[in-house]
Structure 1
Amino acid sequence: MQHDDIQHDDVQFHNVRALQRVRPHEGLRLLRVPEAVRSGLNTGAQTRMSHPAGTEIRLVPDETVRITLSSEERDSLVRPFWGDFQATGEEFTLGPEPKTVELSPPESLSDLDPAATGEMRYAPEVCRLVFPGDHRGGHIYYHGVEGARRPPTADEVPSLRYLAYGTSITEGEDPSAEMLTYVNQTARRLGADPINLGSCGTAYCDPAMAEHIAARDDWDVATLSLSVNMVGRFSPDEFRERAADMVETVAAANPTKPVACITLFPHVREYKRDHEEATLSETFRQHLRDVVDECGYDNVHLVEGPDLLPTASGMTTDLVHPGDDAMIRIGERLARELESLMDD
C-alpha cells in the first residue's frame, strides 16, 4: 500500500495532504486534504480541514534538531512523543509568533529490551509532534527545521491504516488531549495509524469528500459516522440521499476494504425528557440502516452508535460530545467491531 503522507525537508507530515502558503503569513499551513478537495467542500468544512486534527510531524533525529512552528487562530499545545512514549513535561505552546524548539533523542530510551517494545506501533526513535485538533488549537504553520534527521521508514510506523470521517465527535471536540479521541483510541487497539477526517459541525457527506476518500490508496479500513450535523439542517430524505451517495462512492472504489457506517451516537435529543426532536435521531439512524442494507456492496457494514456508547456516563455537560472516558469506551468497542470485519 502506498502511504501518501507528505515528506518535505526530510520530515514526514502525517495526515497532511497539502502544505499551503497563505499570504501574508510566514511558513506553510498544514491541510488535511488537498486544496482542490478543500475548495469543493461546504464553507464550514473548508475551515475544518485547515485545523490539524490527527496531524503529526514525524522525524528521526541523528542528534538535536531545531524545528520552527507557529499557530494562527488560537494557541496550540503540542505534545511530543518518541514512538509510543509520551514526553511528559516537554509539551510546548505555539502562538502567532514562530517558535523554535529543540528535540533530542531521550537518553532514557537507548538500549531498550526488544521485548519491551515489540507490541508498540511506532519505533522509539521516531519523534512525533502531535498537534491538537478541533477547538483545542489553531492552524499550524511549518517554518523549517535544522539538524541531521530523516523521515521514518515504513517499518518504524504501523502498516495498517484506519480512516475516520465524521463530525466533531470524530474530529475530537472535547477529550482533554488528541490521543484520547475515539479515532486514536480505536487505532491504538487495532495497531493502526489513524487518518482523521472529522469535520466539526460540517460533516454533510459532501461529494468532494466522498470522492477524496474513495480515491485514496492509503487506508485499510474506514468508518463513516453519518451524521448528527445533518439533523435539523437536512431533511431525513436529503440525508438518506447524500449518505447513500457517499457510502456507494467510497465502497465501489474500494471493494476489498471494510467500510463501517456508524449511526448517530446518543445525545441530548434522547437524553432529555420530552425533547421536541426526540424521535428524529432514530429516523436518521433508520435511514442509514436502509442505506447499508440497500447499497449492494459486501464490504459495507453497519455499526450502531448506541452500541458504542450505551450510557451517558462520560459525556460532557453539553450532552452531545463524549469526554475522555466515553471516548475510550467508544474506542474499545469500535476496535472490536472493526477487528471482526477485517477478520472476515
Structure 2
Amino acid sequence: MTTSITGGDWEPYVLGTAPLEEGAAGGAVHRLPAWARAQVDDQLFRFVEACPVGGRIRFETDADEVFLTVAATTVVIDGVEPAVTLVVEQGEQETEIRLDAPTLLVVAEEQVVEVRPRSPEVVRIPVSGSGPVDIWLPHGARVELVSLAAAAPIVAVDAPGLRWTHYGSSISQGANAVSPVRTWPVAAARRLGWNLRNLSLGGNAQLDGFVARVIRDHPADLITLKVGINVVNADSMRERTFRPALHSFLDTIREGQPDTPIVVISAISCPAHEDAAGPTVTGSEGMAHAAVRAVERDVGALTLGRTRDVLAEVVTARADPGLTFWDGRDLLGPAEEGMLYDGLHPDQRGLDLIAARFADGILARLPMARSR
C-alpha cells in the first residue's frame, strides 16, 4: 500500500513555518502568513520570507525509503548558483542531499533580470524504518512541497521540547550557511532539543508591527529578538523612532504572551558601524562599510553602539521580570571580527561560534525558561 502526502494533507507534517499555501507546483512554504506579507512591497523581503529557514518535515514510517517531490527556487548573483540542499536526520544519522534542478532567478543590480524555470524533482530518501525522520528544508531557496510518498503509512510526529521563536536579520537567517542545519539558530535549537520558529528576515529586521503580531499569536515558551543591525544598515530610523518602535513591538507581543520570557539581543560586532551611522554600502573589494553621508551626522542618527544603549535602556525602563537584555558582542565580539567575511556577516566558523555561545549562555540568562 502506497501512502502519499499532498495538497491540504501537509499541515501536521511541516514544523517551524506558517501554514502552507497553494503554489504553482504544490504547497508553498512561507514563514509569515499572507496578510502580513501584503504589508510590504519589497523584492528582497518577498524572497527571504519564503525561504523556509528552520522549517522541516517530520514523520515516522515503516518504509525503508520515501520519495519527496519538491520544487525549489534560488537566486543567482554574479553568476554564482548556490547549492540548494536538504538535510535528513534520523536518530544519530544525518544525510545531506543536494537538489539538482532548482528554478533560477538571475539577479543584477538587485533586480531579477532572468528566470530559468525547471520542473519539480523527485528526491529518494532512504530511511531506517525506526524512529522519527526530520527533513530540514533548504534555508536559501523558496520551496513548494508537491508530495511525500512511501510504500507504508506516513505518520505525523510531534516534536518534544521548548517552543522557541526567534526574530533577527540575515545573520540569524544564515543564508550563507553551508547547510540548513548550520544556521546558528537551527544549530542551537538542535543542541538544546528545542522547537524553533525562525522569523529572521535578511535585511528586514525593522521592528515591523505585522511581525510582532505574528510572534504574539504563535504560542512560545521563549522569544528572542535580535535587533539593531538592519536598522543601521538601512538608516531607516532615528533614535526618536527606534525607541518607541521597540516599545510598541514588545507591547504587541505582550498582548498575547504576557508571561513568556523574552530576551532582547543586540547586534554582534560590526566594525563598520560601531561608531558610524548607516546606511551600509559595499565597496568594490566586497566589504561592508558606512556610506559617506551627505550631511553631518545629526543628533539621533543611529550607530550600532547607540542601538545597544537604547535596547538596554528600554528593557530596564519596562521593569518586566520576564524581559532580559543580552549584548550580542558576547556571541561574536571584537576579537572575532576576522570571522566576518565581508565585514558584516559571519562565515561558517562565526555562525558555529554564535550557536555554541547562545546554547551555553541562554539558560543562565533566562532562569524562567529552565523550569518549562
TM bracket, shorter-chain basis: 0.7 to 0.9
**Fraction of identical pairs, as percent:** 22
Residue type matched to 2:192 in 1? L
Contact 1:27 1:143 in 2 (8 A): yes
Residue type matched to 1:226 in 2? V
State the alpha-carbon separation in 2 of the partners of residues 324 and 7 from structure 1.
36
State the alpha-carbon separation in 1 of the partners of residues 170 and 205 from structure 2.
8
Residue type matched to 2:51 in 1? H
2:361 aligns to what?
337
Is structure 2 residue 272 aligned with structure 1 residue 264?
no
State the alpha-carbon separation in 2 of the partners of residues 256 and 227 from structure 1.
24
Residue among 86, 89, 95 paired with 1:87: 95
Please, which runs of 5 or more residues in structure 2 have no aligned partner? 1-6, 76-82, 103-117, 277-288
Alignment of 1:37-116 (within 5 A): 37-41=36-40, 43=42, 44-63=44-63, 64-74=65-75, 76-88=84-96, 90-95=97-102, 96-106=118-128
2:349 aligns to what?
325
State the alpha-carbon separation in 2 of the partners of residues 281 and 272 from structure 1.
7
Contact 2:11 2:20 in 1 (8 A): no
State the alpha-carbon separation in 2 of the partners of residues 237 and 78 from structure 1.
43
Q: CA deviation at 1:192?
A: 0.7
Is structure 2 residue 268 aligned with structure 1 residue 255?
no
C-alpha change, 1:13 and 1:170, in structure 2 (3 Å) is: same
Alignment of 1:130-279 (within 5 A): 130-133=136-139, 137-147=140-150, 148-154=152-158, 157-217=159-219, 219-231=220-232, 232-269=235-272
Contact 2:87 2:181 in 1 (8 A): no
Is structure 2 residue 312 aligned with structure 1 residue 289?
yes
Of the structure 1 ranges 162-171 and 277-286, higher mean CA displacement relative to structure 2 is found in: 277-286
Q: Classify the secondary structure of the residue corresponding to 1:312.
A: helix
Q: Classify the secondary structure of the residue corresponding to 1:87.
A: strand
TM-score of the aligned structures, taking structure 1 as reference length: 0.82
State the alpha-carbon separation in 2 of the partners of residues 298 and 208 from structure 1.
25
Contact 1:314 1:324 in 2 (8 A): no
State the alpha-carbon separation in 2 of the partners of residues 11 and 212 from structure 1.
19
Please, which runs of 5 or more residues in structure 1 have no aligned partner? 1-5, 111-123
C-alpha change, 1:104 and 1:304, in structure 2 (3 Å) is: same
Contact 1:248 1:295 in 2 (8 A): no
Contact 1:76 1:94 in 2 (8 A): no
State the alpha-carbon separation in 1 of the partners of residues 324 and 11 from structure 2.
39
Residue among 293, 299, 303 paired with 2:322: 299
Give the aligned CA root-mean-square deviation in angstroms. 2.8
Q: Classify the secondary structure of the residue corresponding to 1:60.
A: strand
C-alpha change, 1:230 and 1:68, in structure 2 (3 Å) is: same
Of the structure 1 ranges 42-51 and 176-185, higher mean CA displacement relative to structure 2 is found in: 42-51
State the alpha-carbon separation in 1 of the partners of residues 274 and 339 from structure 2.
11
1:19 aligns to what?
20
State the alpha-carbon separation in 1 of the partners of residues 255 and 191 from structure 2.
27
Residue type matched to 1:329 in 2? L
Contact 1:65 1:146 in 2 (8 A): yes
Residue type matched to 1:320 in 2? L
